Amino acid sequence: LFALCILFPATAQAWEGIAVRILDGDTVLVAPYGASHGDISVRLYGIDAPELDQPSGMASREALEGHVRPGDTVKIIPLANDRYSRTVGLLIHGDVILNYEQVRQGYAWVYPQYCKARFCKEWRNAEQTARQAQNGLWGDTSPLPPWEWRHGNASIPNK
């Protein structure tokens, strides 16, 4: 976490809350501590997990649920807001950065269009290792990246 504080001086804006619901493999609904407004949808920065009705989609959500359950305290390091008004950031539970963990375990792709931080190189290496070990979604013979899958399913918004 210390390295993240150096890379992202805006971590003074980091906040904590309670995980309310795991929506899919890269989105969590969080209730911020002390906030008077509602829950916040947090999109995990730099990764893209399969959609729930896509092959490995449910497994990806279950993998994330294996790290953070509703009621757990999480820390959010916000990096942006997306066009759907979601907070995009790093999701941390304990000392684990769950964005990275989803990639490392093979339940999400590094999202090349959006993962631009220096640490994304490490994340791409972790993705390659998961691919070679056929972990998670890489056990499928030809997994389709969600950004390509969504093009064939126009009713699903781009993440």
69 is catalytic: no
Which tokens go with 111?
């999202």
Phi-psi region of 30 (alpha: psi -120 to 50; beta: other; left: phi over 0): beta
Of the listed 16, 21, 51, 62, which one is catalytic?
51
Residues 6+ away with beta carbon under 8 Å from 6: none
Candidate list 21, 61, 65, 86, residue with the active-site label: 86
Catalytic residue check, 51: yes
Q: Identify the active-site residue in 16, 21, 43, 83.
A: 43
Residue 114 CB contacts under 8 Å (≥ 6 apart), including other chains: 45, 46
- 148 given a catalytic annotation: no
Q: What distance in Å separates the CA atoms of residue 77 and residue 125, rounded to the nearest whole number?
A: 22
Instruction: Specify whether the CB–CB gap between 114 and 159 falls below 8 A.
Output: no
Catalytically annotated residues: 43, 51, 86
